[in-house]
């Protein structure tokens, strides 16, 4: 992100002081290229901000605050600062901000003991995904390698763009979460309608098990275990489609 981009995002989120704001507005009035970049940042961030707003409205904040460590004062992030992080993502910053947002979403649903298992935790936050959640992200090959390498190091499974490529789906992002102390990696995709699909890997020491499919509400799940790792494909799709995707991944990983 350039210095101009940072200032433009600050203007979009109303984070600039009066002097900086007036100076930037004057530049926008006389610089066509700068104004075009402003429009691009605004349009890229709008659907992400809308999705995040919906998540913030539904988040159980008292329970979230109770789950935070109390070593120091708790800082409640503002909606504006959260939007700023995600709009930086849309402008081209590394997807690390998205991982933070997704981790926050998963945490906000309450203590781990209130969930059935890690699959339920994945479904809880994925139920908030819309067709606008992952669609804005379209990393190039080098960024895909970088994201997958970081995830691989955490879950102990070698993941590359070729290994995780799936027919009919477009790779959007890869990031790391945690469930009950175990690293939980998520790889996001969208289909040709921008509907989200995720592939998850958790390093939880589980015994090997063949692919098993099930239906939970609107979601189909296909899971298997190998080498102390659990794998899961989930999306709003027929069970047969989830099983096919799982089989494709199982043969490569």
Which residues face 200 on adjacent strands? 186, 232
Q: Which residue has the higher pLDDT, 162 or 8?
A: 162
Distance of CA 198 to the CA centre of its chain: 10
- Could you tell me if 126 and 219 are in contact, meaning their C-beta atoms sit under 8 angstroms apart? yes
pLDDT > 70? residue 199: yes
Q: Is the pLDDT of residue 132 over 70?
A: yes
pLDDT at 250: 96
Higher-confidence position of 174 and 92: 174
- Identify the pLDDT of residue 35: 75
| 79, two tokens | 């909606």
* Residue 59, pLDDT score: 52
Is pTM, for the whole model, over 0.75?
A: no
Comparing 186 with 19, the larger pLDDT belongs to: 186
Q: Residue 106's pLDDT band (boundaries 50, 70, 90)?
A: very low
pLDDT band at 161, cuts 50/70/90?
Answer: very high
Q: What are phi and psi of 219, to 5 degrees?
A: -105, 145
Residue 168: is its pLDDT beyond 50?
A: yes
Cα separation, 139 vs 147, in Å, equals 9
Binned at pLDDT 50, 70 and 90, residue 29 comes out as: confident
- What average pLDDT does range 216-222 have in this prediction? 93
Average pLDDT over residues 125-134: 92
Question: What mean pLDDT, rounded, does the chain reach?
Answer: 78
115, two tokens: 């969930």
Q: Poorest-confidence range of 13-17, 133-137, 174-178, 194-198? A: 13-17
Q: How far is CA 23 from the centre of its chain?
A: 35
Mean pLDDT score, 88-106: 46
Q: Is 187 exposed, middle or buried (0-12, 13-18, 19+ CB in 10 A)?
A: buried
Instruction: Provide the pLDDT for residue 93.
Output: 41
């Amino acid at each position: 992100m350039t210095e101009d981009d940072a200032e433009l995002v600050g203007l979009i989120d109303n984070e600039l002081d009066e002097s900086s704001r007036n100076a930037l507005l004057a530049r926008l009035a006389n610089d066509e290229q700068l104004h075009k970049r402003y429009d691009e940042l605004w349009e890229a961030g709008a659907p992400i901000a809308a999705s995040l707003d919906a998540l913030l409205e539904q988040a159980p904040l008292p329970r979230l605050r109770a789950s935070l460590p109390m070593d120091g004062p708790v800082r409640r992030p503002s909606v504006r600062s959260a939007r700023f992080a995600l709009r930086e993502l849309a402008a081209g910053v590394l997807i690390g901000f998205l991982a933070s947002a997704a981790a926050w979403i998963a945490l906000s649903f309450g203590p781990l003991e209130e969930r059935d298992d890690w699959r339920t935790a994945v479904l809880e936050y994925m139920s908030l995904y819309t067709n606008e959640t992952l669609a804005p992200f379209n990393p190039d090959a080098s960024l895909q390698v970088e994201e997958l390498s970081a995830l691989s190091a955490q879950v102990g499974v070698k993941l590359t763009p070729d290994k995780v490529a799936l027919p009919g789906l477009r790779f959007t992002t890869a990031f790391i979460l945690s469930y009950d102390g175990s690293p939980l990696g998520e790889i996001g995709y969208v289909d040709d309608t921008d509907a989200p699909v995720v592939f998850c890997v958790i390093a939880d020491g589980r015994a090997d098990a063949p692919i098993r499919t099930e239906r939970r509400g609107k979601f189909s799940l296909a899971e298997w275990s190998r080498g102390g790792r659990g794998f899961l494909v989930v999306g709003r799709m027929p069970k047969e489609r989830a099983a096919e995707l799982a089989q494709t991944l199982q043969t490569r990983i």
